[in-house]
Amino acid sequence: MNAALCFGEEMLRLYNTDGRKVQPFVPLEPGRARLYTCGPTVYNFAHIGNLRTYVFEDILKRVLRRCGYQARHVMNITDVGHLTSDGDVGEDKMEVGAARERKTVWEIRDFFTAAFMADAKDLRLDPPDTTCRATDHIAEQIAMVRELESKGIAYPLADGLYFDTAKFPGYGRMAGLDPEGLMAGARVEVAEGKRNITDFCLWKLTAPGVKRLMEWDSPWGRGFPGWHIECSAMARKFLGDNFDIHCGGIDHVRVHHTNEIAQTEALTGKKWVNWWMHGEFLLLDEGKMSKSSGTFLTLSALKERGYDPLAYRLFLMNAHYRKPLVFSFEALEGAQRALQRLRGRAHKLAAAAGAAPHPGYLQRFDAALEDDLNAPQALAQTWELLHDESVPPAQKVATLASMDEVLQLDVFRTESEKPEPGAGAGMTQNPMVGVLQMSEESLREKIRQLLEQRTEARQAHDFARADALRAEITALGVDIKDSPTGTTWTRRRGHR
């Protein structure tokens, strides 16, 4: 892409959820783009749905850089156990995870952060410039809540301090919420005493007589911050009171990002983020994939079944990020075969060198990406190029190499080559994050639970789910055998 064109003529167009239209991207500072992406909640593995959102964000960042912007990317790690319900009630996710694995919350946090980083590396996600943990920024969160309190926007209830959404006139602007309509039809679980159904917790107090695994002192008493405040506090700290782009999955529009906007803009009195971008969901045949219900597939499970993580990346790029995408093993199989064909063709050409990229193909590839990150159309140019007999091999190689800077499919890898550890644009391991092995006991418990769920799925003739669970069990280094008398399992050689 021609940087001058990108800046001068505002070639890059991106959909903004806030306003619901595709607009030419205009950064706050010429040549720079400041980007915040909501990161993982580390009480479980990331499922492949979560990873769809991170791949979309990776493509966004690579396209920004390709357009000549210096992208500064900040991502949080949610390691405070916010509650399982958006209505500020329910169980603490980190404590649930710790009880499930029989570990401390801190061990859970480190284990699943490391697992996330390994997935990110496998998918060749470019590492953020700053990765920040909520538990390392409790003071910033408390300071922000205090400011809100001093402005009279927060009010106390028995279980914590709440944001009064009626005091922020633009509440729900981006999501198109109608707070009065919501109030009338309210059927969600909410904390008792809330003034408005949309009010949300800023600081949750530990219940009297309870000792929580994660809690901190605050001006309101011992407790923990609400979920939304962490992103506002850290994004402000690292990117400021007005920055360019904030991303996440589509589920964040209604509650998490709506509340981030409310608390930040109520406090600063000005517009916070210029572009809000959201990736649509990856769906399973039967609907939503969710961490809390346990219905999820991990990248390790796909690898264990013999799929290249980059085949999953290719599968994702075959759909536009703003379209829901249904996952199936058939489609993934198709992507794996396509990746093999792509690499096979690229490999045959690889010896040819010394040419410049083909301007027509590259321009059309870039134009597709500049058009709100249209990856499927960009990929179509890659395939056309490969099939075009009129383009000399050396020119194809140069064009492909340039395209792969965004695609990140490792197109010149031969099938017999395994990716080198640390190769590609992988995320470097955060030295603060120790890798923790699951204990023998919790591993056995995990296998037992998964086998039980698989038996239930089989009894309900839900074979897709049963297959997904088998893949998860296999990922733990275990082989299972079904017989008329039941299912038995054995540890594979080489695994503990």
- Quick check: helix, strand or coil at residue 375? helix
Q: Cβ 65 to ligand AMP, closest distance in Å?
A: 21
Helices (H), 185-328: 227-239, 258-268, 299-304, 309-317
We find the least distance from the C-beta atom of residue 378 to ligand AMP, in angstroms, to be 20
User: Quick one: 249 or 357, whose CB is closer to ligand AMP?
Assistant: 249
- Name which of 200 and 365 has its Cβ closer to ligand AMP: 200
CB 140 within 8 A of CB 460: no
Question: Smaller CB distance to Zn ion: residue 175 or 380?
Answer: 175
Residues in contact with Zn ion, counted by CB under 5 A, come to a total of: 2
Please report how close the Cβ of residue 90 comes to Zn ion at its closest, in angstroms. Answer: 18
| Cβ at position 66, least distance to ligand AMP in Å | 23
Query: What single string gives the DSSP state of each residue in 388-442?
Result: -TTS-HHHHHHHHHHHHHHH---TT--TTPPPPTT-TTPPPPPTT----PPPHHH
Closest CB to ligand AMP among residues 18, 410: 18
Residue 33 CB, shortest distance to ligand AMP, in Å, is 19
Residue 18 interacts with, from Zn ion, ligand AMP, none (CB under 5-8 Å by kind): none
The CA angle 314-49-414, to the nearest 5 degrees, is 25
Which position among 12, 38, 314, 349 is part of the footprint of Zn ion (CB under 5 A)? 38
Q: Tell me the CA end-to-end span of the chain in Å, nearest whole number.
A: 50
Determine, following the binding rule CB under 5 A, whether residue 144 of this chain makes contact with Zn ion. no
B/e letters for 241-270, b = 16+ CB within 10 Å, e = fewer, are eebbbbbbbebbbbbbbbbbbbbbbbbeee
Amino acid at 284: L
Is 119 or 260 the residue whose CB approaches Zn ion more closely? 260
Site string for Zn ion, 229-258 (x = CB under 5 A): --x---------------------------
User: Which CB, 38 or 55, lies closer to Zn ion?
Assistant: 38
226: partner contacted, choices Zn ion, ligand AMP, none (Cβ within 5-8 A by kind): none
Based on the number of CB atoms within 10 Å of its own CB, is 304 exposed (0-12), middle (13-18) or buried (19 or more)? Answer: middle
Site of interaction with ligand AMP (CB under 6 A): 38, 40-41, 49-50, 52-53, 78, 248-249, 251-252, 279, 281-282, 289, 291
Closer residue to ligand AMP (CB): 324 or 359: 324
Beta strands in 260-346 (DSSP E): 273-279, 282-284, 287-288, 325-326
By a kind-dependent CB cut-off of 5 to 8 A, residue 291 interacts, out of Zn ion, ligand AMP, none, with ligand AMP
Angle at 368 between CA 334 and CA 128, to 5 degrees: 80
Residue 74 is inside which H or E element, if any?
strand 70-77
Mask for 212-231, x = binds Zn ion (CB under 5 A): -------------------x
C-beta of 198 vs 408, nearer to Zn ion: 198
CB-facing half-sphere around the CA of 205: CA atoms within 13 A: 14
Which listed option, ligand AMP, Zn ion, none, makes contact with residue 231 (CB within 5 to 8 Å by class)? Zn ion
Helices 93-101 and 440-459: crossing angle in degrees, nearest 10, is: 100
Residues that bind Zn ion (CB under 5 A): 38, 231
